Amino acid sequence: MGPLDVCAAGRAWQVGISGVQVPNFSMATVQNTSASIHSTLTEAQVLGASATQAGYAAGTSTYNSIVNSSGDLRKSWLLRNHAVGITLQESTVTYECVTNGYGWCYGTAWPTTAQYAPNRTEALESIRELKAIMDGLAPESSGFWRGPIRSR
The amino acid present at 48, given as its one-letter code, is: G
pTM as predicted: 0.78
User: Contact, 19 vs 89, CB < 8 A?
Assistant: yes
Query: Please, what is the average pLDDT of the chain?
Result: 87
pLDDT attached to residue 146: 46
Chain centroid, CA 56 distance in Å: 18
More confident residue, 138 or 86: 86
- Quote the CA–CA distance of 100 and 116 in Å, as a whole number: 18
Residue pLDDT, tens place only, 7-40:
988 888 999 988 899 999 999 999 999 999 999 9
Element (H, E) at 89: helix 82-93
DSSP letter at 108 equals S
Sequence-distant (6+) residues with CB within 8 A of 121 are none
Q: Residue 48: which H helix or E strand, with range?
A: helix 43-53
* Strand residues in 1-152 grouped as ranges (E): 14-15, 20-21
CB hemisphere CA count around 47 (13 angstroms):
22
Q: Which three-class secondary structure state does DSSP give residue 101?
A: coil
- Phi and psi of 20, rounded to 5°? -65, 140
